[in-house]
Amino acid sequence: GIGDTFEGTEYEDIYAVDHETATLRGALRVHDLEPSDVTDVILTHLHFDHCGGSTFQTDEGVEVTFPSATYHVQEEHWDWAADSNPKEQGSFVSETFAPIEAADQLHLVDGDGPLLPHIEVERVYGHTHAQQIVRVHDDTTTLVYVADLLPTSHHLRPTWTMAYDIRPLQTIEEKGGFLERAERSEWKLFFEHDPDVAVTDLERSDRGIDVVHPRTLADL
């Protein structure tokens, strides 16, 4: 998420960031965890609203949030963010990811496939170059963190894309293929940006592939 790297800046007002009700470190403490307990962080992409929590502000400057963790980023995407384009330059904020490399905690991932036990990643290119979506599974269930391929449950229609997508036609193609596999394989989807639906199953209907059994985080 956006984290607190931008605390006290104009970003808080522009994006209605609210740290009164929840923070990343506070959410960990609910589960009796500290940032130093985290061993791995998979960043789907480096837009600030997805990787802002990777760092935080101190009186001395910006520091890495998880000092013991390896941060996993697609190498293609890291290079893309380092040499940004006019459409995305406002989304790539170096303070949210450059300290990771400086701290020698960066692992550049080369392609699709297994990353950690029970975790695989898959690249998509419509929203930004080489975003990685994340599949987490056990013997019976697969949960897919779909990031900005499907930011909300309202984006299940392949042609409903975001203005932020750098290649909207490719997004349409990627969403269509992914949703076919997800429905067929009975994967559960986790949405980053949906205020009402955190996780859902999928079913096929006359309209295409739809949400079924939507849940909030409180339901899990």
Q: pLDDT tens, 85-140?
A: 999 999 999 999 999 999 999 999 999 999 999 999 999 999 999 999 999 999 99
In this prediction, residue 57 carries a pLDDT of 87
CATH code, residues 1-110: 3.60.15.10
CA atoms of 185 and 188, how far apart (whole Å): 9
Per DSSP, the residues of 38-78 read --EEE-S---HHHHGGGEEEETTEEEES-TTPEEEEEHHHH
In this prediction, residue 5 carries a pLDDT of 54
Q: 135 or 21: which carries more pLDDT confidence? A: 135
Chain position carrying tokens 């949400």? 211
Domain extents for the chain? Answer: 1-110, 112-220
CA atoms within 13 A on the CB side of 186: 2
CATH superfamily membership of 112-220: Ribonuclease Z/Hydroxyacylglutathione hydrolase-like (3.60.15.10)
CA–CA–CA angle 24, 104, 97 (5° rounding): 45
What's the average model confidence in pLDDT over 40-58? 95
Is it true that 1-110 and 112-220 share their CATH fold?
yes
In this prediction, residue 6 carries a pLDDT of 54
Do residues 5 and 56 lie in contact, with contact meaning Cβ atoms separated by under 8 Å? yes
Which H or E element spans position 139? none
What's the average model confidence in pLDDT over 67-89? 97
Q: pLDDT tens, 146-204?
A: 999 999 999 999 999 999 999 999 999 999 999 999 999 999 999 999 999 999 999 99
In this prediction the pTM is 0.90
Q: pLDDT tens, 158-169?
A: 999 999 999 999
202 backbone dihedrals φ, ψ, rounded to 5°: -125, 150
